[in-house]
Amino acid sequence: MQTIQDVMTRDVHSISPEQSVRKAAQMMDEFNIGSLPVCDGDKLVGMITDRDITIRSTAAGQAPESTRVGDVMSTEVRTCFATQAVDEVLGQMGDVQIRRVPVVDQSSHSLVGIVALGDMATKHSVGTEDALQAISTPSATH
């Protein structure tokens, strides 16, 4: 059984909730990524995505230099553990339509990595197509 530690990225760039939205956008540009884990020290406290910046900050007319990451980040973050089965996490990603999941330590909940659908596609092909289908299917509006 392949586990998340077999496919995850360990060298993860993160940002503090006290940093500016501009800094988050600059980091996303520099590292060619669309989201950043938000950490208070080593502890994961949220995620900020390019969509969060666009919708919650820019569209609301907030100044990127003075708006804090903590003001626009998502705090309800799905996480997984390095020891979880890849198939289990793939299923969860499909169920909630997310493309990347922070990997946290089971005891300290500190950030130890991140796993993306792309990681699974290149390192674990079984089930990836089904997860991609579930993630890419528009969710029903209520």
* b/e sequence 11-47, b meaning 16+ C-beta within 10 Å: ebebbebebbbbbbbebbeeeebebbbbbeeeebbbb
Statement: the pTM of the whole predicted model exceeds 0.85: no
User: Are 21 and 64 in contact, with CB atoms under 8 Å apart?
Assistant: yes
Mean pLDDT calculated for residue range 96-116: 92
CA distance 79 to 49: 15
In order of their start, the domains of the chain are: 4-136 (3.10.580.10)
User: Of 20-29, 106-115, 132-141, which has the strongest mean pLDDT?
Assistant: 20-29
Listed range (31-45, 56-70, 124-138) with the worst mean pLDDT: 124-138
Give me Rg for the CA atoms of the chain: 15
Site of tokens 């579930």: 134
